[in-house]
Structure 1
Amino acid sequence: MPERLPSNDYPLGSNEHTAYQSCLVLEGLGSSWGVVISNLEKEASEAVMFKFSPQVAARVLGYALRHSPSVEGKAHLVQEILNCNNNGELLAGLSYLYVMGMIRVFKNPKGSVLTSLSSHSSRASFRATADNIAAALAQPTVSSSKAKDLALARDNHRCIVSGIVDLVSYEEDPMRFNEAPEVTAGTTSLGHIFGQSIMDHTAGMTRAARAKVRLPPYECSIIRSQFACQMEWATTAAAVIERFAGIPILEEFNQNDIHRPENTFTIADGLHPAFDRLSFSLCPIDDDNNTYEIHTHPPNRNATYRLPNRVTLTDATNGKIPLPDRRYFQLHHACATIAHLSGAGEVVEQLFRDMEDIKVLAEDGGSNHLLSLALSSRLQALSVY
């Protein structure tokens, strides 16, 4: 359940205090934009950004301040909020940008499209992975099939959070796992921290909100190249991610290499959808780069998901294949927390439910922004796996 923002405990007179107070004032508007929308033209008043109530918009920004993964990112957000000068339309646009530029990058309300590692791999591919790791990592981009092999080899053919052994790996070579008295095996798949949606585009903001957050004018439509539309969204998402978390995502991903080892991991099929829905996340522990607390959203549901409270990631290849990047998990955890506490995750899920009838909505020509978002999401499912 969403939670009200805590009281303003930032130092009185500081920029953080002033920015956070703006969030509290916006939250006080409740569930309706009221006069904010009434002063806008009809087209602007129907912008998707207003699907997020003042409460949700305020909580996105407020909890983003409280859970920012970087000091610089927090300072940037403080300044962006101050630049809005308590203007409800601009704050709505800024909040929407953070939802669609970050939370949407991680959250897939329908869960992942599973491509089982177990059904794909063979013992020959495992040997090839072990022998040719350097060659595979030297490639500019990594294919999904090669990424699966690399993840299995690095993760010792186990789900990194539950420890479940990849079923086919066990069936092909049971002696590989003879160090454990009891082995639990199951199907596994390739998990991604960042999804393909870093290449999606966004829409649904008013012109004033777009101008204030310095977005390029939205020109995508269903008759334009989907690739061109995606590139526009990639620039926006990457800018938000870098500004908030200090991660130059396009540079690190070589534009679109989401299958790089730092972004992938082996996960049990039964847990994969929950991770993609932000139902649980890995929170880095300060004194250990590879140890994480596993948080569920809502909290205290580890037993329900059969998750441990803490996990330490290890590399079975002795450093040949990089482990998942701590910064990526840290941002994923921050977004999961913000989405849960603000209620933004529920709104994103509602948008996806609305898209089930997207063809009907698009007939009047006024819902192209929703159709474009739906199409890019479907392209995501087709492109990742």
Structure 2
Amino acid sequence: MTSLPRTLPERLQQHPRTSHIASAYGVCLKLEASLQVDTDNGKDVGRGMIYCRILGYLLHYVPGELGLRHLVSEIVSCDGDTSLLKLGQMYFNHYIRAFRARKGRTPSHSSHASRPSFDRLADMIKANLVKAPQSHADAKTNALIRDGFRCVVTGRYDRGSANANRELKDAVDSDPNARLDSTECAHIFAESTNSAIEPGSDKRNYAATMWAIMTCFGHAELPKELNGPKVHRLENVMTLCHDFHTLFDNLDVWFVPTNEKNKYKLGWAWASNSRDYPEHVIFKTSDETNLPVPSPNYLAIHAACAKVAHLSGAAQCIDKLYQDLDDSTTLDPNGASAEILEHALYQVMVS
């Protein structure tokens, strides 16, 4: 957890509405100072500091002008500290948690045991490309084809695909620098976000709140774009090796756009995690119309969430809740397990 900077970033100091933004940020700084005094005096503020810093860091990183304006309006409209903390809690539960959920990936690793083998790569692509993907398996197949049967970050070839195609295997064998790995299909917005949710369920209500946040951030098109099986669209998926996929899902890494189209710099929560990976990643496709690359919009929303989650302490808080949930076998009768139970219920809704 990192204290809020005393000043706004330079880009916001030059913003046409800088006085309004500064006013909202001042509210967050004042609340942070008050919570710190309470903490120093031995008062338990619970997750209050995290909720406060979520709001402050969102002002720094919220993607898009509409999102910034909405957030400023929300903050300055709050009636006192309690209202502010409830607003921060809402973003903790319905924005940070939505991306930082412990994913139950199905299936995770490549599995080509039941698929026929092909000598020519073109024949395998023609036989397997899915025009309207309906499942995780369809999404993985399409992503592999677009990504050249390689992890988009490490460049390692998918082992299952190489085993199923002679031409691909020969290409790997002929390149002394080529490496094989088991790859996974990574969703930017999780599969569970909008897929197979029963009408009227708590999970439906949770998703509705998350999409309401996205709409207020200026992304009203997202619920329609990612509705049901559309969550498997190519713009929302990419081929990743297992370790990097885990880092991405945990918000430990994100993609920062550069001035070059489809080229990103990797951003890291912990510099030590970056040692085995390149500094930049370039998304490529042989057909921009039918095999589009991951959406810059989706990646920007994920990146903003990742930065806010780590700087505010929300990511570490959720990590501890997962650990406590794993370690607990029974609930404490005096109510000490309330946070763990709450976390377990949220995990059901976002998984």
- Normalising by structure 1, we get a TM-score of 0.76
1:253 aligns with 2:226: yes
Tell me which residue corresponds to 1:266: 239
Give the distance between the partners of 1:270 and 1:28, measured in 2 at CA.
39
CA distance 1:178–1:288, change in 2 (3 Å): farther
Query: Do residues 153 (structure 1) and 145 (structure 2) align?
Result: yes
State the partner residue of 1:206: none
Give the Cα–Cα distance (whole angstroms) in 2 for the partners of residues 118 and 70 of structure 1: 39
Matches within 5 A, 1:304-383: 306-317=276-287, 319-356=289-326, 360-361=330-331, 371=341, 373-375=343-345, 377-378=347-348, 381=351
Tell me the CA shift for residue 181 of structure 1: 4.2
Residue-by-residue CA offset, 1:274-309 (whole Å, 9 max, x unaligned): 111111111122x33311111111246411xx1111
Query: CA 1:367–1:245 in structure 2 vs 1: closer, same or farther (change >3 Å)?
Result: farther
Task: Give 2:24's aligned residue.
Answer: 19
SS at match of 1:190: strand
Q: Which residue of 2 aligns with 1:166?
A: 158
Size of the alignment, in residue pairs?
A: 334
- Tell me, yes or no, if structure 1 residue 95 matches structure 2 residue 100: no
Letter of the 1:241 counterpart:
M
Give the AA of the match of 1:351. L
Distance (whole Å) between structure 1 residues aligned to residue 317 and residue 63 of structure 2? 23
C-alpha displacement at 1:129, in angstroms?
A: 4.5
Contact 2:193 2:350 in 1 (8 A): no
Q: Give 2:266's match in structure 1, choosing from 288, 291, 294.
A: 294
What is the rounded CA distance, in whole Å, between the counterparts of 1:113 and 1:349 in structure 2?
A: 22
Cα 1:155–1:144 shift into 2, 3 Å: same
Per-residue deviation at 1:362? 8.3
**Deviation digits for residues 33-64 of structure 1 (CA, Å, limit 9, x no counterpart):** 78xxx9xxxxxx9xxxx74233x222111111
Residues 83, 326 of structure 1: CA spacing in aligned structure 2 closer, same or farther, 3 A cutoff?
Answer: same
Aligned counterparts of 2:191 and 2:327: Cα–Cα separation in 1: 23
Alpha-carbon distance in 2 for matches of 1:362, 1:122: 49
Provide the C-alpha distance between the structure 1 equivalents of 2:237 and 2:103, rounded to a whole number of angstroms.
Answer: 19
Deviation at 1:241, TM superposition (A): 1.8
Given candidates 170, 176, 181, the residue that maps to 1:175 is 170
- Decide which moves more: 16-25 or 356-365: 356-365
Give the CA RMSD over aligned residues: 3.3
Match for 2:156: what amino acid? Answer: I
| CA distance in 2 between partners of 1:71 and 1:270 (Å) | 34
Q: Where do residues 175-194 of structure 1 align in structure 2 (5 Å cutoff)?
A: 175-177=170-172, 180-194=175-189
TM-score norm. by structure 2 comes to 0.82
Other structure's SS at 1:158 match: coil
CA contact (8 A) 1:153 1:316 kept: no
Deviation (angstroms), 1:350 = 2.3
The letter of the residue matching 2:21 is E
When residues 144 and 266 of structure 1 are mapped into structure 2, their CA distance, relative to the original with a 3 A threshold, is same
Question: Are residues 1:279 and 2:252 paired?
Answer: yes
1:201-220 counterparts in 2 under 5 A?
none
Q: Is the 8 A contact 1:112 1:272 kept in 2?
A: no
Q: Residues of 2 paired with 1:149 and 1:99: CA distance?
A: 33
> 1:301–1:132: structure 2 CA closer, same or farther, 3 Å change rule?
closer
The verdict on how the C-alpha distance between 1:110 and 1:132 changes in structure 2, with shifts beyond 3 A counting, is closer
Unaligned runs of 5+ in 2: none
